[in-house]
Structure formats: C-alpha cells, structure tokens
Amino acid sequence: MASKTASRWVVAGAVAAAVAGAGYALAPGGPAGAKNAKGVRPPAPVVVAEAGQRTVPVRLSTIGTAQARSTVSIKSRVDGQLLEAHFQEGQTVRKDDLLFRIDPRPFAAQLRQAEANLARDRAQLERVRADLKRYGELAEKGYSSRQKYEEALATANALDATIRADAAAIDFAKLQLDYTSIHSPITGRTGSLLVNPGNLVKANDTAALVVIVETQPIYVSFALPEVHLSEIKRRMAAGTLTVEVSVPQDTAPPPTGEVFFVNNAVDVATGTIGLKAVLENKDERLTPGQFVNVNVTMSTLRDAVVVPSQAIQTGQKGTFVFVVKPDSVVEQRPVIVGVSVDGVTVVQDGLKAGEKVVTEGQLRLAPGVKVAPKSAPTS
C-alpha cells in the first residue's frame, strides 16, 4: 500500500513540474481554473451580438392542406359513342371550352322527327279550323247540327295542345343534341382522361370522363388551437387576417393570402377551430391535396428589442442572457422572452437595444468572468 501511494505522489509531482515549466500553475478546480504565469485567468473567447430593435410579426405556425376552389366531375348527359376528346391530360382549360364530342347523328334524327310531327299537326289544325268555321256558319243557319260544330271545336283544341307538345319535343331534341358537345363549366386544370374515345358512355354514369379542378385561386385549409379564437375573431372584424404559406423544399418566397372562413364550431376532439385562406396561386405552386406550412400573422410588435435566439439561455430560475459590459466583464441577466421569428427572439423585459450579448461560448462563462469578445460574422 505504501509503495502505491508513493507512486501516485511521484506522478503528481511530475505533472506539476511539467505544468510549472510551461509557465502555468495548477489551481483548485482543475484545468477550468488554469491561470497564466502571473496568476491571472485569460479572457474567455466568445462571440457577441448587439441587441437590436425592429418590428416583429407575431405568428402562429401549423400544417395545412391545399384545396381546389371547385372540383367538377365531367359526365355525359346522353347515351352514345364518345367520338373525340379536345384536350390533353393535365391541360388548363377555360370555361366553355369544348372537351368531348359524342356521336350526334341519333339525336339529329330525333330532332328531324319532332319537327316533322309539328309540321303534320299544324297542317291538320289548319284543316280542322276550316271545318270549325264552316260548321259554325251552317249551325247558325240551321243547316247543320250544333254537335258537328262542337266536335270540330274539340278536335281543334286537341290539335292545338298536340302542337304545343310537338314544340316541347323539338326543344328537348335540340337540348339532347346540344349535350353531345360537352364543354368545360369552369376554368381549371384537367386530370387523367378516364374514358377514351370510341367507348360507349351512359347518361350520368357513375364513372366520370375527366375531373377538372380550379386552382386559381386556391384554398388552404388549416386549424388553430381554440385559445386563439378570440384574437382571430377580433382580427377578422378589424380587417384582414393574413397567412403565409410555404411549401417544403421550395426556396422561392412564400405566397400570401387572406383568411376568409372561420368554422362555426370548435372540434371538441382536438380543441381546434378550422379556418380557410384564399391565395391567388397564379404560378400554380400549390396543388390540391398538398400539405403546406401555414404561418398566420396575428399581430405586429413595433420597436421590439430582439437578440439572436442562440443568446437565450435557460437556467433553474428561468431564461437569461450573458451581457458583456464595457469593461469586457460578463453579467448574467434574467430576461423575459417573447416570440421567436426568423432566428431572433423578442426580449420583453431585462435588456435594452444596443447592449451586447454572448451568442457563442456560454459554457465557459460565469458572472464576473472577463471575456475576449468577437462579433459574429454577418450573413
């Protein structure tokens, strides 16, 4: 035992001699308390930044879903053979553009038949009206019975009703013929062609011919916690509630829009309220069904004191920052922080604009430690 203890003292002495030869002396606390030859601890190297003052938007972030303003499933309204498709899959079509053409010949024949029936019944009505006039004159002179006149009158009235039915049949035949040309009811982007030309289609069949979605403008649906509902209603009543929508992996500036819809009930299962915003989407960066990041600007803090977010530290007594005083000595100062936006954090209390705070190297620091500050590189 004595020999082992003696060995430890020899090693310790050797280490002390080596350190002394290098111009340092070991101090209580190990290497963290190392001092130079004059017994003074060297300044700790740190990176500092100056607390600034700027206008900061207060935002709520959530995940939303892009939704088409309107979605239309194009179906045939008549039975027939599909002859042509006048668009390419994925093409943007305008309202009233021709999409499909169905064989019109059977419907053209029905129209001609209806027109022939109308001409026949009109000719019969002219004959009956002549008989009606003749029977009326004979009945007045007593040369014919009143019954003949009444029969002719009934026949004329019946033919008049038949002619009105013929006219309605012509209108219906024209309508059926018009249905053989299918036009786009909205301006939007077409999807996949679901039925190819040459196939027989049925009126109002379950399967659509193509689906068109309106993407300009486009809706974004999202939900926010119900605790913000009062502020949302206040902002909606005061003016517009703006949103900023960003797409993952998209480096372009995020498009903005306005909230136009707040749901009439809170979802009790999630404790959230549903909202919808409308965006112009002129460049069609948003696609229906796409998940997006939504930032809702609730308010704006003007002349707020801000520091880089990495300057904010958390301890047992709350948040604090290391403030570098003019003599390069740090002070640990408690602060009350607010929102964080774009890499900066709002300091509500405890710090003034222009004061310097440590952003890197906090692990070496303690209250009263002298530092060698270096400004952070600007990006």
| Domain identity same for 171 and 261 | no
CATH number, domain containing residue 138: 1.10.287
Element (H, E) at 262: strand 256-267
Distance, in Å, from the CA atom of 138 to the CA atom of 205, rounded to the nearest integer, reads 60
Q: Is the pLDDT of residue 56 over 70?
A: yes
| Domain identity same for 82 and 48 | no
Q: Is the pLDDT of residue 18 over 60?
A: no
Q: Which residues pair with 101 in a beta bridge?
A: 84, 181
Q: Is the pLDDT of residue 315 over 80?
A: yes
| Domain identity same for 184 and 163 | no
SS3 120: helix
This prediction has a pTM of 0.64
Distance, in Å, from the CA atom of 72 to the CA atom of 70, rounded to the nearest integer, reads 7
Domain-embedded: residue 157? yes
Tokens of 22: 């290098």
First-to-last alpha carbon distance for the chain, in angstroms, is 62
| Domain identity same for 223 and 285 | yes
Task: Looking at mean pLDDT, say which of 12-21, 98-107, 123-132, 223-232 comes out highest.
Answer: 98-107
Residue 313 and residue 322 in contact, taking contact as beta carbons nearer than 8 Å:
yes
Per-residue pLDDT tens over the stretch 134-189: 777 777 766 666 777 777 788 888 989 999 999 999 999 999 999 999 999 999 99
Q: Domain boundary at 273, 300, 327, which?
A: 300
Q: Domain boundary at 300, 327, 345, which?
A: 300
Distance, in Å, from the CA atom of 225 to the CA atom of 169, rounded to the nearest integer, reads 59
Residue 223 and residue 273 in contact, taking contact as beta carbons nearer than 8 Å:
yes
SS3 41: coil
Give the angle 358-362-367 at the CA atoms, nearest 5°.
85
Q: What pLDDT is attached to residue 364? A: 86
Element (H, E) at 350: none
Q: Domain boundary at 300, 334, 362, which?
A: 300
Distance, in Å, from the CA atom of 308 to the CA atom of 303, rounded to the nearest integer, reads 16
Residue 193 and residue 207 in contact, taking contact as beta carbons nearer than 8 Å:
no
Domain-embedded: residue 4? no
| Domain identity same for 174 and 193 | no
Element (H, E) at 227: none
Q: Is the pLDDT of residue 86 over 60?
A: yes
Q: What pLDDT is attached to residue 239? A: 78
| Domain identity same for 253 and 363 | no
CATH number, domain containing residue 189: 2.40.50.100
Residue 50 and residue 311 in contact, taking contact as beta carbons nearer than 8 Å:
no
CATH number, domain containing residue 324: 2.40.420.20
CATH number, domain containing residue 277: 2.40.30.170
Q: Which residues pair with 210 in a beta bridge?
A: 74
Domain count for the chain: 4
Tokens of 76: 């045939």
Domain-embedded: residue 1? no
Looking at per-residue confidence, does 251 or 349 come out higher? Answer: 349
Distance, in Å, from the CA atom of 194 to the CA atom of 176, rounded to the nearest integer, reads 23
Residue written as tokens 């069904």? 289
| Domain identity same for 296 and 229 | yes
Q: Is the pLDDT of residue 39 over 90?
A: no
Domain-embedded: residue 137? yes
| Domain identity same for 269 and 345 | no
Q: Is the pLDDT of residue 28 over 60?
A: no
| Domain identity same for 233 and 296 | yes
- CB atoms under 10 Å from CB of 149, counted, come to 20
Domain-embedded: residue 121? yes
Looking at per-residue confidence, does 268 or 37 come out higher? Answer: 268
Closest listed residue to residue 127, CA positions, set 164, 155, 165:
155
Burial class (CB in 10 A: 0-12, 13-18, 19+), 310: middle
Domain-embedded: residue 147? yes
- Could you list the residue range(s) of the whole structural domain that residue 147 is in? 105-178
Q: What pLDDT is attached to residue 152? A: 78
Distance of CA 202 to the CA centre of its chain: 36
| Domain identity same for 140 and 184 | no
Average pLDDT over residues 351-375: 90
Q: How many CA atoms lie within 13 A of 305 on its CB side?
A: 17
| Domain identity same for 121 and 131 | yes
Domain-embedded: residue 17? no
| Domain identity same for 98 and 188 | yes
Q: What pLDDT is attached to residue 84? A: 94
Domain-embedded: residue 313? yes
Q: Is the pLDDT of residue 268 over 70?
A: yes
